[in-house]
């Protein structure tokens, strides 16, 4: 059996860093991916999906230092669903997250995030720029911290 996720998308917000009681660093951030298709009438449609990513240890520290909202990244990891009881409503809540094994910043110096990479660390450094094209107007729901106007890189799927 295999539980592996690989996705390429734009960060919806800057990573949130915290430290657990045991002293372990953890970073949380969201990544947006788009799906495009044409309907039966030939109208172009687009749907944005939000993915929640969790990085631990040194990767969390690097994410906090180099990743910024709008930055194009590749994330590799595994899916994990966690649950909790909502204190306000008493209902059971669920969230499926990507537990990051590795991430890589994509794009060049001109990329929206403005960072050029994290130095010579494998898996964290800059790669070749991804193909770009202007994105059509989107009507899909968005992460409140993500500004698609500031993210002009696009990966067609």
CATH classification for the domain delimited by 5-117, as one of 2.40.50.140, 3.30.1330.10, 3.40.30.10, 3.30.300.30: 2.40.50.140
Instruction: For residues 87 and 4, give the distance between their C-alpha atoms in angstroms, rounded to a whole number.
Output: 32
Q: Which of 4, 104, 12, 99 is nearest to 50 (CA)?
A: 12
Instruction: Indicate the pTM of the whole model.
Output: 0.66
Percent of the chain whose pLDDT exceeds 90: 66
Q: What is the pLDDT of residues 60-99, one digit of tens each?
A: 999 999 999 999 999 999 999 999 999 999 999 999 999 9
Q: What is the pLDDT of residues 115-145, one digit of tens each?
A: 333 333 334 333 333 333 333 333 334 444 4
Q: Domain ranges in the chain?
A: 5-117
Which positions ≥6 away from 129 have C-beta within 8 Å? 106, 107, 108, 111, 153
């Amino acid at each position: 059996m295999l539980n592996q996720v690989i996705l390429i998308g734009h960060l919806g917000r800057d990573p949130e860093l915290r430290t657990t009681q045991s002293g372990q660093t953890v970073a949380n951030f969201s990544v947006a991916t788009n799906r495009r298709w044409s309907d039966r009438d030939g109208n172009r449609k687009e749907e944005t999906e939000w993915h929640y990513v969790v990085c631990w240890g040194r990767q969390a520290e690097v994410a906090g230092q180099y990743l910024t909202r709008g930055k194009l990244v590749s994330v590799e990891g595994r899916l994990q669903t966690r649950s909790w009881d909502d204190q306000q409503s008493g209902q059971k809540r669920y969230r499926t997250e990507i537990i990051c094994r590795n991430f890589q910043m994509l794009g060049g110096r001109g990329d929206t995030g403005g960072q050029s990479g994290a130095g010579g660390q494998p898996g964290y450094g800059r790669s070749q720029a991804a193909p770009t094209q202007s994105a059509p107007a989107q009507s899909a729901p968005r992460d409140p911290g993500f500004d698609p106007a500031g993210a002009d890189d696009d990966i067609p799927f």
